[in-house]
Structure 1
Amino acid sequence: MSVKLRLIVMNFLQYAIWGAYLTSMGSYLVKAGLAVHIGMFYAMQGVVSLFMPAVLGIVADRWIPAQRLLGLCHLAAALFMGAAGWYALGAGDGVAFGPLFALYSLSVAFYMPTIALSNSVAYAVLEGAGRDTVKDFPPIRVWGTVGFICSMLVCDAAGFQTSSMQFVQCAVLGIVLGAYAFTLPECPVNRTGSRKSLVDALGLRAFTLFRQKKMAIFFIFSMLLGVSLQITNGFANPFITSFRDIPEYAATFGANHANALISLSQVSETLCILLIPFFLKRFGIKRVMLMAMFAWVLRFGLFGLGNPGGGVWMFVLSMIVYGVAFDFFNVSGSLYVNNTTDVAIRSSAQGLFMIMTNGIGAMVGTLGAQVVVNRFVYSQATPAEQVAGWSHAWLFFAAYALVVALLFAVVFRYKHDPAAVETRH
């Protein structure tokens, strides 16, 4: 098997594990009577992302080859996720928040670092084989999104969307990748050379960038926009599935196959990555970021106005604009940080960008969204009132995204130079 094919298999499984539950866990929690805790489950991914990737990154740099650590982390994550599934299956309708959340949190603590580890393994293996990482890695990484989509569809087709079997599906895939990782080529370990401190690994050195007004504003707005990142992962599936309790929509495809509908978002994400170089060069970072922000307004607003029946086109359009909302912010923001920071702190600056967006932003966003959903949705007595409440909640999120976009347009000063190569690596 060629090096590229082996890495494609790794990336496919890496994100298939996540796709098994990320978009459907909210619906299971609703069925298990834990709807008011959805935000806590998704916020935990942000909490562990603040420190676990950095800590295990140092371990991989100094002591354990990255491919072995990748395998160990996946096996540990699979063990705890499998235990969560086993507990939930045994408890039936009596699932308690404490045990399920503890087992899930331990699994996520070991899984989240594998995202960075899998990238490190891919880079090391490609370099060891004399390949060009800039040219060869993106086509390999795309298969990760394919794996995520396939796993979502399997979860949907198997009827796991509202069942704890999605955790078992995740665990099985984790065991497969955990074992497979040990067969990958050896990655180098630096036991004698320069060692990155925990301060550098966490991206804390880059906090000096806050002394620059433009960068401070950029990072603050990155956090504010990061609030939107996990909202639809946690709440889109429970929202769409809730229409099954309304006779008018009970038999519609969307209400019964929310994961299949949501998978269009990942398809859009895959395609929109290809547009970024053109848009950045043509319009510059400020306009591209504004496109992402207004795409979030549309993403949420279309959810608030649509339904799985005659309004299903709004859901589909919401899935399509997700690619712009997610990629134009995450990828373009990362490129901007890379191109505007000194090479000495560039890695730390990327770490800070991740902390502000996928750490603090996503954590605050999911917990804040839970408060909004509890207020508008789960405080209502009837299914019809809850569906109406969902509409109000999504429009509230759209209003938030709109305010952030308008403030960014006014506050962030940036003059685009089309001659500048903003997409350099």
Structure 2
Amino acid sequence: MQKRKDGKHSPALPNRRTFLGAGVGLAAASLLSRLSASAQSSPANRPADGDSSPTLEGRRRLGTLEVSAVGLGVQNMSRTYQTTIPTRSEMLNIIRTAFDRGVTFYDAAEAYGPHEVERILGEGVAPFRDQVAITSKFGWNIDQETGVRRPGLNSRPEHIKQVVEGMLSRLRTDRIDLLYQHRVDPQVPIEDVAGALKELMAQGKVLHWGLSEMGLNTLRRAHAELPVSAVQNEYSMLWRGPEEAVIPLCQELGIGFVPWSPLGVGFLTGAIDAQTRFAPGDIRGIESRFSPENLPHNLALVDLVKTWAVRKQATPAQIALAWLLAQKPWIVPIPGTTQMPHMIENIGAAAVQFTPAELAELNRSVSAIQIRGARLPDEVLVFSGVEAPPKP
């Protein structure tokens, strides 16, 4: 993995949203006009001297895999939360500009699309494939020919191998740097899953593996069978569940942690207020933490983040991401976006630093706010924390 040296951090960071009391604003159009939709990975397109936008320089390790301190989630690049279809050329532009600014960690999954997000990512990173780490995930029961999602999960070893062949084609690559089991299959022993990954690693098709939203005992068994590089679970100021047991177990085993939804599906950016209602098809509309009854109470957390944004001369999104980065040196958030200014803002979070006293103060304040409502609908939560069956 090559370490990028161009560009420097600057205190003049772009802002995503106008937040109350901060008096800070930056028009997205001014950024977009400077960033061509045809940006490629060449020195001419890297941040020029005098460009005040941030370049990401920090690196972190997930097990033995070295990646940028902040990654890029590409889940919504085929269809957003609001079910709109982003412009493909601009998604490629965001992926490539992220690389130009130091991002070397890109997160996808077979289920995103399904399949289409992997195609977008493969096309996007093609000019610099050997300089980045790309991830994907298997585990849902998805038809490999049509992309149709069938009921339930499928982590049978023979199916995993078929899925990986499709991934390699869609991602335009000969290997996947980090491959996760998206959700634990309650019908397949994790030892059998690890066995399939061992074979794929021996063939050079997978370099590292991880699990997402798994049961604790399953993680221990998986790591004992084949060392796990990373766990990917939801984690943010809005949902701190992993702090209870998952993060301590990762620390014990030497496993990296990748928070998905590090900005609380947009909540921690300040873009949602008490009057917000969600479009049909937007999963946030059926999450009880965002219900009209709970949302006004939970906005106390956003107020706290906005206060710290003013204090640190940053944006709410940057405070939320910097807080995650400050929790452990092996935590790598992967904020997703379909807007160029948001991506640039997110990578600027790595420049926001807390003193030990500031972090302790912020942690106390976050802990004092009790979030009302569940993080996901029951029909989705049922797939989290599952333990794989014992090996016969």
TM-score by length of 2: 0.27
More strand by share: 2
More helix by share: 1
TM-score by length of 1: 0.26
* Higher Rg of the two aligned structures: 1
Pick 1 or 2: higher relative contact order, CA cutoff 8 A, min separation 6: 1
